[in-house]
Amino acid sequence: MEFFPDVAQPVSYAGAGDQGDADRLAYRVYDPDRPVGGKPMSEQLRPAVCYWHSFNWPGSDIFGHGTFDRPWLAVGVDPMEAARAKQDAAFEFFTKLGVPFFCFHDVDMAPEGSTLRESKANLDEMVERAAAKMDTTGVQLLWGTANLFSHPRYAAGAATNPDPEVFAHAAAQVRHMLEATHRLGGHNYVLWGGREGYETLLNTRMGQEADQLARFLELVAEHKRSIGFDGTLLIEPKPQEPTKHQYDYDSATVHGFLDRYDLLGEFFVNIEVNHATLSGHSFHHEVAYAIDNGIFGSVDANRGDPQNGWDTDQFPNSVDELSLAVYEILRGGGFTTGGFNFDTKLRRQSLDRYDLFHGHIGGLDTLAQSLLVAEAMLADGSLERARDERYAGWRGERGARIMDRSTTLADLADEAVAADLDPTPVSGRQEALENHVNQVIWSTK
């Protein structure tokens, strides 16, 4: 039985001219085979649908019940029957939407049992079923992850829990999910530290919790090697929510943490747009930081609401915001194992099952247009030329001497005094650059 019977054919590219009917399911910009920057659009963007918000969330919020039409989430349905119905609907959606990837948490795909053994058996069964569907549909796994934040046992964190039994329980879940991700040929494995943080410092030893978290990451990296999984390990930074403070606050914090515990090169970052804005940065900043420091991995595409301060996980719809970040990604060589995962949820009133299509189509068209803009900015070269000119002095003799450690502070001071240095400030040309970006955005087709 189909869950989306009104969509007979996979959604296809209709072109920008197709503006007639807002309800028609078609891509206006995303044209998977169109070459951009030497690769088809689908390979540049590597889009993925997430299982959790789309299939495992009933549309509830802290004040109200679920509003969505998701029969497998109804009370009283046998949990394994429900998991199968959900998986059928999910794979039907992936193929009808025409995206190459999906992502999931262990508990999204299979129900937790009453023991770890039972949970493992449930997941193993569902993973084999997913493997068969992946074979027939060609849909691939961008990443897998373990949910170490919903169950009450994780209220005080998983790796950073004051109780080592909780740490060991989390280890069992991650081991199993890492192996499941490997079994499904996953391209990455994500660790989001949902409750790796604190509610109050009154009861918290921050130093000890950091050591525990680093130890957990070491164990995960060792296990990855021992099973021969060659995907990328990713940490997803987020500053707070659900806890008051989270240790993987932003890309720079994660970078410092990895450096301190000698884990650079083992872990990269999965940057979520709405987490970037929650941390007080732009998404552009987070991406640029990660690329400049060699820790960029993947992206959770979504957006927040500028008027409120939580993770609203809305579908991306701003080319202005995304094109600058995509520009940095392209300039850095593009994705390797990463991609754009839609970690996005519908608004609670979007209760028609076909709203899932509208959300993803709009998000993917926004990414596609941002990719075209980014490629145009790269080809035009104005932004890179402006940066080159601005730093030109550092390519000169004095700049080289400072950076190659052949001068002391006293040498430089003597030299500055002797030459009576009086450097002339130059314009940063911000408005001119902003205008240039807008011109590219407005003219890109």
Give the residue, chosen from 28, 224, 238, 281, that forms a contact with ligand XLS under the rule CB under 6 A: 238
Query: At its nearest, how many Å lie between Ni ion and the CB of residue 393?
Result: 41
Q: Which is nearer to Ni ion, 125 or 241 (CB)?
A: 241
Residue 328 interacting entry, from ligand XLS, Ni ion, none, C-beta within 5 to 8 Å by type: none
Q: Which is nearer to ligand XLS, 284 or 345 (CB)?
A: 345
Contact string 32-61 vs ligand XLS (x = CB under 6 A) = ------------------------------
Query: Residue 108 interacts with ligand XLS (CB under 6 A)?
Result: no
Structure tokens at 368: 């596609």
Q: Are 212 and 159 in contact (CB under 8 A)?
A: yes
What residues make contact with Ni ion under the rule CB under 5 A?
272, 300, 311, 343
Subset of residues 186 to 225 that bind ligand XLS, contact rule: CB under 6 A: 190, 192
- Phi first, then psi: give them for residue 402, nearest 5 degrees: -65, -45
Structure tokens at 233: 């390990």
Query: At its nearest, how many Å lie between ligand XLS and the CB of residue 37?
Result: 27
HEC per residue, 187-223: CEEEECCCCCEECCHHHCCHHHHHHHHHHHHHHHHHH
Q: Which is nearer to ligand XLS, 13 or 216 (CB)?
A: 216
Q: Which is nearer to ligand XLS, 313 or 375 (CB)?
A: 313
Q: 441: closest CA among 386, 366, 335?
A: 366
Radius of gyration of the chain (CA): 24
Q: Are 102 and 90 in contact (CB under 8 A)?
A: yes
Query: Residue 248 interacts with ligand XLS (CB under 6 A)?
Result: no
Q: Which is nearer to ligand XLS, 110 or 376 (CB)?
A: 110
Structure tokens at 205: 């030893």
Give the residue, chosen from 42, 119, 145, 212, that forms a contact with ligand XLS under the rule CB under 6 A: 145
**Alpha-carbon gap, residue 60 to 185, rounded angstroms:** 33
Q: What DSSP state is assigned to residue 173? A: H
Neighbours of 50 (CB within 10 A): 28
Q: Are 142 and 46 in contact (CB under 8 A)?
A: yes
Give the residue, chosen from 343, 356, 370, 441, that forms a contact with ligand XLS under the rule CB under 6 A: 343
Q: Which is nearer to Ni ion, 41 or 276 (CB)?
A: 276
Q: Which is nearer to Ni ion, 270 or 444 (CB)?
A: 270
The dihedral through the CA atoms of 16, 346, 245, 206 has a sign that is: negative
Query: At its nearest, how many Å lie between ligand XLS and the CB of residue 143?
Result: 9
Query: At its nearest, how many Å lie between Ni ion and the CB of residue 442?
Result: 31
Neighbours of 57 (CB within 10 A): 20
**Alpha-carbon gap, residue 387 to 395, rounded angstroms:** 12
Residue 366 interacting entry, from ligand XLS, Ni ion, none, C-beta within 5 to 8 Å by type: none
Which residue blocks in 297-353 are alpha helix, DSSP H?
319-331
Query: At its nearest, how many Å lie between ligand XLS and the CB of residue 61?
Result: 15
- Phi first, then psi: give them for residue 179, nearest 5 degrees: -70, -35
Query: At its nearest, how many Å lie between Ni ion and the CB of residue 275?
Result: 6
Residue 145 interacting entry, from Ni ion, ligand XLS, none, C-beta within 5 to 8 Å by type: ligand XLS
> Residue 74 region, left (φ>0) first, then alpha (ψ -120 to 50), else beta?
beta
Q: Which is nearer to ligand XLS, 96 or 275 (CB)?
A: 275
Query: At its nearest, how many Å lie between ligand XLS and the CB of residue 31?
Result: 28
Q: Are 160 and 214 in contact (CB under 8 A)?
A: no
Subset of residues 250 to 269 that bind ligand XLS, contact rule: CB under 6 A: none
Give the residue, chosen from 300, 328, 365, 375, that forms a contact with ligand XLS under the rule CB under 6 A: 300
Query: At its nearest, how many Å lie between ligand XLS and the CB of residue 146?
Result: 8
Active site residues: 105, 108
Query: Residue 311 interacts with ligand XLS (CB under 6 A)?
Result: yes
The SS3 call for residue 303 is strand
The dihedral through the CA atoms of 394, 399, 405, 406 has a sign that is: positive
The SS3 call for residue 271 is strand
Using CB atoms, what's the residue nearest to ligand XLS?
Answer: 192
Which residues on adjacent β-strands are paired with residue 274?
Answer: none
For ligand XLS, the binding residues (CB under 6 A) are: 145, 190, 192, 236, 238, 272, 300, 311, 343
